[in-house]
Amino acid sequence: MWVKILPSLKMGTLWFTSLWYLLFFLLTSEEACAESVIKSVQLIIHPRNEVERGTNVSLICHAEVSHSPGSLPIYEYNIYKDFKLLNTDQANSKDYQYSIPDARMADSGKYKCEVVIKEQKKESLVEDLTVKGLQTPVLTVDKLKLIEGNHVNFNCTAEGERGVLRFFIRDGSQELYTELTYSRRVDWQLNLPKGTVNIFCYYSITLRSTELSNVSNVIRLDIQELEINPNIEVIPSKNVTEGDLITFSCSVDTTYQRNSDPIITLSHGHIVLSSNMTKTDYKVYAKANESGEYECTSRLGSVSKVSAMNISVKELFSMPVLSIPPAKVFEGEHFSISCQINSLASERIRMDDIRYSILQDKTPVINGSLYNGTAGKASNGKYICVAEAKGIIKKSRMVLFEAEVLVSKPEISVYGPVIVNKPFWIHCHSYNGSLPIIYSLKRNNITLNKTEVSDLHENARFLAMISTPLDISSYMCEAENNGQVSRKMSERLRVTVIVPVGKPLLTIIPVPENIEEGSDVTLICNIAKGSPPINFSFYGGSGTEIYSTTVQSNSSSYVLSAVKRQQSGNYYCEANNQAQSLIKSDTVSVEVSLATWKKALIAVFCMLVVALLVLFIVRHYKAKRVVVNNKESVWSERLPDVADQDSPVSTNEGDIEYTEVVHLQPVDPTQRRPVRIC
């Protein structure tokens, strides 16, 4: 069916929708433009901060808020207890109330409230609420008359309490049960012993401290004893002798216990001998080690009763004793094994009634109390002896017998190198022989020292020293572990002996005074004694090592080829071997002189210099001439002396002489002075 909508109806609907959107826009715009400011928040506890249990408490949160006229903000209230959120709610009022009806101690704590308006948030100060007093619990039981072994159900209730409670159930000072629960009650079941009990309960709650409630009502219970006490009987008596037949019987009088069938057991110590004593008796032959307390236990349900009797068993004969004298028996020596007892029940048996046997490793050796043999590997083993009489068999303690082994021939050796005039260790050791072993060090059959060794892997050590290599073979070692008959001597000590090197002698060829440049010089280092290999080292003029070698002989050499003058100096050598005693030779001074041809060349050169010098001097004094400053030559004639004026004038030209005249002042041509002729 089709419905036609009138145009007027369509127009009305459109106008209504438009109006609704307009109103919504105006309202939301006004709310969006409204402003609120939270000034303060206060928490008030009514009627007061400290109240008694059962009081109705109100937490009032008051907010001081400023807001725009005409606007009504929405308040969000958050209530906190002990700083944990307890409740949250919204309201249009400045005051909000949170109620705690019938307050309990569990409601005690620190409270605060918080007000939230849009993005704003403000908290009150913390207020303490204290609720005093705990409710007295009530104790109930399901039955008041009990028989020993019956169960009784208890119930302890603290109605109206909240929080975590710990319940305690006691019989006077004895604690019977405890339980921690969130519930207001606790149920449990107990099985109480006979007698009278006074049961009560109480509980505790822990807040800032532990608070205890008052004690509940006390319930008195009388538990009737279950009469199932067993009776124990022993035949023939409590005091018996080893080997006697003992009969134990246990019974329970059930005359006053109708419809009861207790279980009866017999035990000795921790061992149950019989678990069916109700129907049969327990029989056993008495043994000495079975003296003590025997118990009959009757059990019905969870109730058990015990009766005990102490049984004393006397020994028929004592434990046999096995002995092997002497304490030490060496291979090849005779030994004996004896078996005997120290006491017996003379009223029951005689000494002849006891039969002995001796066993080695569980194999019979002899039927008797004495065995003789020769010590050796075949006689080594575990021995016991067995004594038997009247059906009673007793064994001795096991004795381990091992024949002592005579010491073997010792071996002699040394530890480390043997060096003349230095101490060294001599070791002696026997690979076989019972401990302890006494070792003696001998030299030329004279005992120098003794020592005792108690460890099979330990060597005897002796400190020794020799002055010559031949002395080493004079040492021997002796071992003994059973007196003189066991003494064994080692071979003579034969080892390599190291002789320290003697002082080396350095020889230089040619002799140090005849060494010229360019010649070869041989250095020879020689020692008088020392065990090879020997290390020789040569040191040059500057004190540095120039050569080192190890040889199997007592000397070594080194050649300096074409020596030079700078190789002059002090030379020496050193010698060493395994004795590690480094010895240095005396120092030899070496002076390298010039070569012969150099000496001749120098002599020729010196003679040539002297000849030239002499020639120069001769020529200098033979050459005579006069040198004038103005570079002219002067002829002078000899003037006649006054003394010679009367003599005849000689006109011989041969009297003319030449000389050089140096004028220190200008010459006056008008004056002529005589010239002195040298």
Q: What is the mean pLDDT of residues 413-434?
A: 94
Residue with the two structure tokens 């009866």? 264
**Would you say residue 150 lies in a domain?**
yes
271, 210: one domain: no
**Would you say residue 607 lies in a domain?**
no
Helix (H/G/I), strand (E/B), else coil: 538:
strand
CA dihedral 141, 145, 149, 155 (to 10 degrees): 0
Q: What is the mean pLDDT of residues 456-478?
A: 94
239, 305: one domain: yes
**Would you say residue 172 lies in a domain?**
yes
Residue 51 backbone dihedrals phi, psi, to 5 degrees: -135, 170
The amino acid present at 204, given as its one-letter code, is: S
**Would you say residue 308 lies in a domain?**
yes
Give the H or E element holding residue 117: strand 109-117
Does residue 555 surpass a pLDDT of 80?
A: yes
What pLDDT, on the 0 to 100 scale, is given for residue 30?
43
528, 584: one domain: yes
pLDDT digits (tens, 9 = 90+) for 607-637: 888 888 888 888 887 775 544 444 444 444 4
Cα 471 from Cα 348, distance rounded (Å): 78
Cα 82 from Cα 126, distance rounded (Å): 9
What pLDDT, on the 0 to 100 scale, is given for residue 149?
76
**pLDDT grade, residue 256 (50/70/90)?**
low
Residue after which a domain boundary falls, among 165, 191, 223: 223
Q: What order of strands is seen across the sheet that includes strand 230-235?
A: 230-235, 245-252, 282-285
Q: Which residues, other chains included, contact 667 with Cβ-Cβ below 8 Å and sequence gap of 6+?
A: none
212, 192: one domain: yes
Q: What is the mean pLDDT of residues 13-26?
A: 50
**Would you say residue 673 lies in a domain?**
no
Does residue 454 surpass a pLDDT of 90?
A: yes
**Would you say residue 459 lies in a domain?**
yes
**pLDDT grade, residue 10 (50/70/90)?**
very low
Cα 207 from Cα 211, distance rounded (Å): 8
What pLDDT, on the 0 to 100 scale, is given for residue 18?
54
For strands 174-181 and 488-489, give the pairing: unpaired
Cα 255 from Cα 228, distance rounded (Å): 10
Does residue 429 surpass a pLDDT of 90?
A: yes
207, 245: one domain: no
> Tell me, what CATH number does 181's domain have?
2.60.40.10
Q: What is the mean pLDDT of residues 95-121?
A: 92
Residue after which a domain boundary falls, among 314, 332, 354: 314
359, 289: one domain: no
Q: What is the mean pLDDT of residues 426-450?
A: 94
Residue after which a domain boundary falls, among 208, 223, 238: 223
Give the residue numbers spanning the domain of 241: 230-314
284, 347: one domain: no
461, 547: one domain: no
451, 470: one domain: yes
* Cα 640 to Cα 645, 649, 650, 656, 675, distances in angstroms: 6, 8, 10, 13, 12
What pLDDT, on the 0 to 100 scale, is given for residue 535?
96
Q: Which residues pair with 289 in a beta bridge?
A: none
369, 417: one domain: no
240, 304: one domain: yes
What pLDDT, on the 0 to 100 scale, is given for residue 207?
83
**Residue 103: CB atoms within 10 Å:** 21
Does residue 17 surpass a pLDDT of 70?
A: no
192, 243: one domain: no
Looking at every residue in the chain, the average pLDDT score rounds to 84
Cα 197 from Cα 209, distance rounded (Å): 32
**Would you say residue 442 lies in a domain?**
yes
**pLDDT grade, residue 276 (50/70/90)?**
confident
The radius of gyration computed from the CA coordinates of the chain, to the nearest angstrom, equals 69
Number of domains in the chain: 6
Cα 415 from Cα 430, distance rounded (Å): 16
**Would you say residue 677 lies in a domain?**
no
